[in-house]
Amino acid sequence: MLKTPSLVAVRPARAEDVGSMARIIDDYARRRAMLARRENDLLRSLDDFVVACRETEAGRVIGCGALTLYSTRIAEIRSVAVDPAHSRSGAGRKIVQALVDRAKSIEARRVYLLTLVPEFFAKMGFEIVDSDNTSLSYLSEAVLDQSRTFANKALMMRDL
């Protein structure tokens, strides 16, 4: 199988992508590597998502990721996932770069994320921060609202 990053393109997600996105995310969720997202939840937040596609396979979706805005200046990256058959192909990096570019284009100043793979995001310029920091209350509220948890996850941020 070819694993050439240049054959991977990232674009905004479309409704027809939701099935593929849900399959990739659920595969990891079953192994407790990330949170599950229902298809109707993905559809509702479709505008937040980008997908990575294989240009040589009729644009088959092999990964996805989302950027959610919490204030005029603060955003969170969520649900970054790459089909394991295409891991280490550069797709994850391209997805994160596209989300960071999107954050910059809407003039966000800082991007946070919660992750079980801090080593990957460290390579994307993110640093681990203390989740007890009170200035993060908006993020804590969002996380609790969505029944998510900080447990076992690293909180990371990148200033733009």
Ligand X SMILES: CC(C)(COP(=O)(O)OP(=O)(O)OC[C@H]1O[C@@H](n2cnc3c(N)ncnc32)[C@H](O)[C@@H]1OP(=O)(O)O)[C@@H](O)C(=O)NCCC(=O)NCCS
119 sits near ligand X (criterion: CB under 6 A): yes
Distance of CA 67 to CAs 2, 3, 100, 125, Å? 28, 25, 8, 16
Identify the residue among 10, 18, 34, 108 touching ligand X (CB under 6 A).
34
d(CA 158, CA 148) in angstroms, rounded, equals 21
State CA 145 to chain mean position distance: 19
User: Shortest Cβ distance from residue 113 to ligand X (Å)?
Assistant: 7
User: Shortest Cβ distance from residue 116 to ligand X (Å)?
Assistant: 5
Q: Is residue 95 classed exposed, middle or buried when 0-12, 13-18 and 19+ CB atoms within 10 A define those classes?
A: buried
Of 39 and 90, CB closest to ligand X: 90
Site for ligand X in 70-89 (CB under 6 A): 79-82, 87-89
115 sits near ligand X (criterion: CB under 6 A): yes
In the bound state, the residue with its beta carbon closest to ligand X is: 92
Q: How far apart are the two ends of the chain, measured CA to CA in Å?
A: 35
Q: What six digits make up the tokens of 121?
A: 């995001």
93 sits near ligand X (criterion: CB under 6 A): yes
Identify the residue among 64, 67, 91, 111 touching ligand X (CB under 6 A).
91
Site for ligand X, rule CB under 6 A: 28, 33-34, 79-82, 87-93, 115-117, 119-120, 123
